[in-house]
Amino acid sequence: MDPKEQEFYQKVGTVFTEAMGSVFGMLTGRDFHLTGEPAQTLDAAPAVAGLLSGQSVYVKAHYQKGVTGTLYFALPLKEGTMLVDLMLGGDGAAADSIEGDSKDALAETFNQAMGSANQSFSDQAGETFSISNVEIGAFASEAGPVGDWIGTGPFQVMPIDTKQDSIQAKIYILMPDLLAQQFQRKLGFAAAAAAPAVEAPAAATPRAAAASAMTSAPLAAGPAVDPGNLDLLLDIELQLVVRMGQTEMQMGELLKLTPGSILEMNRSADAPVELLVNGKLIAKGEVVVVEGNFAFRITEIESKASRIRSLG
């Protein structure tokens, strides 16, 4: 693995390490210490199955924007169930299987970790990275069933050493080669191919000569984009979100919610309500009623330039 590839996998591993550490801590209310380790290449599923002994949990995350393909995580079943028990308000007791609410809780945990990591990748690449869903599977150490679930490989494996008072385990990020190549291009780590110079024939027409010059000569910086081109953006449909407030809770508290439960927000009753586009704040105002429907009256708003930047 060359130095540029090492830098790429270190960067990706760091993003996931920080995202998972933050989500684990938030959902359990405990301190987790996660440390990324150097990536390694494993050619096939049997080698992946050999990373963990005994019962293991595998997580599938299917990318639908930014890149396409499936990312996998692998961790010991025992520590996986201990993690879920902490999230559900327990003391970190281990279980022999993961199913029902425990399986859903682990899926939601990795869904949130992926969301946090993908926000970092989106910021770096300048486009949206997102997944469609997360799946959980539990398998013994035999390579056959694991290979059926995660595919044949090869995989780039990024280990994450995970420690908490009662938990000590390695969580493995498994990135198939094709997915890794897409990430490298999107994050600017792929080597740029040298464009061959094109020599114009002696009897070239003026138009052909101009085309040849454009192909073989370095491109000069062009003029600024015509502001009129911004009209092309005016028909883009955007989802606007009016946010009254937000809060955080442990997974166990979330599962205990019932009709009639009251959630206290982090915003006073007289504070302005926020209007967000693509998760970015563009205006503040107040909720009003218009012809029997809720509406939003703007009292403060960002500049047009800031609103355009919110499209990114």
Q: Are residues 138 and 30 in the same domain?
A: yes
- Tell me if 301 is assigned to some domain: yes
Tens digit of each residue's pLDDT (9 = 90 or more) over 229-260: 555 556 667 778 888 888 887 888 888 888 87
Q: Are residues 167 and 278 in the same domain?
A: no
Q: How confident is the model at residue 212 (pLDDT cuts 50, 70, 90)?
A: very low
- Tell me if 34 is assigned to some domain: yes
* Domain boundary pick from 147, 170, 186: 186
Q: Are residues 239 and 162 in the same domain?
A: no
Specify the higher pLDDT residue, 190 or 232.
190
Q: Are residues 133 and 278 in the same domain?
A: no
Q: Are residues 30 and 136 in the same domain?
A: yes
User: Does pTM top 0.85 for this prediction?
Assistant: no
- Tell me if 44 is assigned to some domain: yes
Q: What pLDDT shows up at residue 54?
A: 80
Q: Are residues 239 and 128 in the same domain?
A: no
Q: What pLDDT shows up at residue 277?
A: 82
CATH assignment of the domain containing 94: 3.40.1550.10
Q: Are residues 154 and 276 in the same domain?
A: no
- Tell me if 32 is assigned to some domain: yes
Report the number of distinct structural domains present in the chain.
2
Burial class (CB in 10 A: 0-12, 13-18, 19+), 89: middle
- Tell me if 254 is assigned to some domain: no
* Domain boundary pick from 147, 171, 186: 186
Specify the higher pLDDT residue, 19 or 240.
19
The residue range of the domain holding 306 is: 234-245+266-312
CATH assignment of the domain containing 305: 2.30.330.10
- Tell me if 112 is assigned to some domain: yes
Q: Are residues 154 and 240 in the same domain?
A: no
